[in-house]
Amino acid sequence: MKTIISRSRTILQFSLLSLAITVVTAVAAGLMLNHQAREAMIRSHVSVYPLVVEKILDLHPMLREQLAAKDAERLRWDAMVLKQELQTLGPVVSVRLWGGDGTLLWSDREPMDGGKSGRQLDAARQGAVAYAMEQPLTETLAGNVNPGTILDISIPVTREGRIAGVVELSERDEELAAGIGMQIRRTWWTITGFGGIIFLSLFVVAARANSSLNQAVNKVEQTQQVTIMALAYQAELRDAETGRHIERTSHYVRIMAEGIRKSGRYPGYLRGTYIDDIARSAPLHDIGKVAIPDSILRKPGKLTNEEFDVIKQHCVYGVKVLDEAHEKLPFQTFLELARQLILHHHERWDGAGYPAGLKGEAIPLSGRIMAIADVYDALRTKRPYKEPLSHERCVEIIRLESGKQFDPEVVRVFLSVEPKFKTISDEMNDEPALA
């Protein structure tokens, strides 16, 4: 009887814990993905208008001159032409023209409300195309009261390389609003279904566990690994990677950790539990990439300095995902190790890495191990911007970076186990790699 009660409690605790992780992760992923999808759709929609406005101004050069001269009186007729041509191309309901100093020169709404300017107008006066979407309960336009979504777009106008003024337009695009709503609903249904499948899979595995407590713990660890791989795979889907990348790096990390233990370094620290935990953590090393925009993450060419600064933040974003569940899980050692690995796997032995610029043994051991596993796999596999390197060339690059990018002791262990890396790379490759 006591065994049955113990087994029931284990299954119940595991089910509640799995549900909490699934819900927290699904909500966090849903919010991030929906925000990114919404912004991407609006940016794509807005990007057409600067080209349209510039084309109209080229056809009516006097309008650009009058805007630069802040000639409100003479702007009136040309401004009406601008509005009419914009309305032939899209659902534009209102147009305003601003001077480069923020003075309102013309508006098709009465009365004209002076020279007030907000952050959107200020951004346009600095040369950026700015936009804001609002959803009023009612909006009076052309004598009618209609519900709907208003998209305000501010477009800078240049003359002789300087900001001459700003064209501000408002549109009610029901198709865009409907498309955003449909995308949001599709994302939530997908995430809900995916989360439900994971939860049900975990529940089935737990329900079929043996009555023995040790066997039940083994089942929990297996299903926990499935969850980690599934969550990590979400980040890999957005990058130029596949699920095989996270599987390979997990094996590389385990081999490295076992090699360091055999070398006699860190006695009493590199126990079997540590090795299992770091191998389990490895798939999560790039989970923060779910928060990086696709335009940067999937860029085939070289990143700019600003884009690379955004990429660097994936370490911090990944830790934020874990922090939400950190206090709720009993596996404190595992999560803390995962947190260290995620945050510090891009640090360098010489202190030139990121995000914290740690140097030498100030870098957690998990980060030093993960750094070599991640770099080896990146060099060994094909990317949109590079061809795969041979195993021998990868080994040589890592050897040359000993004491610079990598911990010399960890490199020595790598050189002793590198044939195992080649075996895993060949057996688990995404496509035939170089010999």
Is residue 234's pLDDT more than 60? no
Tell me the CATH number at 284.
Answer: 1.10.3210.10
- Is residue 223 a part of any domain in this protein? no
- Is residue 148 a part of any domain in this protein? yes
- Is residue 16 a part of any domain in this protein? no
The pLDDT tens digits for 120-148 are: 888 888 889 888 876 553 443 333 334 45
Mean pLDDT of 216-239: 55
Domain that holds residue 420: 239-427
* Residue for token pair 């960890």: 410
- 337 with 246, same domain? yes
Q: What is the pLDDT of residue 208?
A: 63
Mean pLDDT of 78-102: 83
Give DSSP secondary structure letters for 226-263: HHHHHHHHHHHHHTT--HHHHHHHHHHHHHHHHHHHHT
Q: Which pair of structure tokens corresponds to residue 59?
A: 């056809």
Burial of 349 (0-12, 13-18, 19+ CB in 10 A): buried
User: Which residues make Cβ contacts (< 8 Å) with residue 133, sequence separation at least 6?
Assistant: 42, 149, 150, 151, 152
- 157 with 249, same domain? no
Lowest mean pLDDT of 81-95, 220-234, 261-275, name the range.
220-234
- Is residue 198 a part of any domain in this protein? no
From 172, 192, 211, the end of a domain falls on 172
- The larger pLDDT score, comparing residue 126 to residue 175, is at 126
- 165 with 243, same domain? no
From 172, 187, 222, the end of a domain falls on 172
Query: CA 393, 394, 395, 400 torsion: positive or negative?
Result: positive
- The whole-model pTM stands at 0.49
Q: What is the pLDDT of residue 435?
A: 46
Residue ranges of the alpha helices (H) in 47-115?
Answer: 48-59, 61-69, 72-87
Share of the chain above pLDDT 70, in %: 76
- 78 with 160, same domain? yes
Give DSSP secondary structure letters for 12-59: HHHHHHHHHHHHHHHHHHHHHHHHHHHHHHHHHHHTHHHHHHHHHHHH
The pLDDT tens digits for 386-414 are: 789 999 999 999 999 999 999 999 999 99
Tell me the CATH number at 163.
Answer: 3.30.450.20
How many domains does the chain contain in total?
A: 2
Is residue 68's pLDDT more than 90? no
Best-predicted range by mean pLDDT (102-111, 229-238, 306-315, 399-408): 399-408
Per-residue pLDDT band at 235 (split at 50, 70, 90): low
- 415 with 311, same domain? yes
Pairing type for strands 144-146 and 150-159 reads: unpaired
- 130 with 270, same domain? no
Phi, psi of 104 (to 5 degrees): -75, 115
Q: What is the pLDDT of residue 362?
A: 95
From 115, 150, 172, the end of a domain falls on 172
User: Mean pLDDT for the chain?
Assistant: 78
- 278 with 402, same domain? yes
Cβ atoms of 93 and 170 within 8 Å: the answer is yes
- The larger pLDDT score, comparing residue 386 to residue 361, is at 361
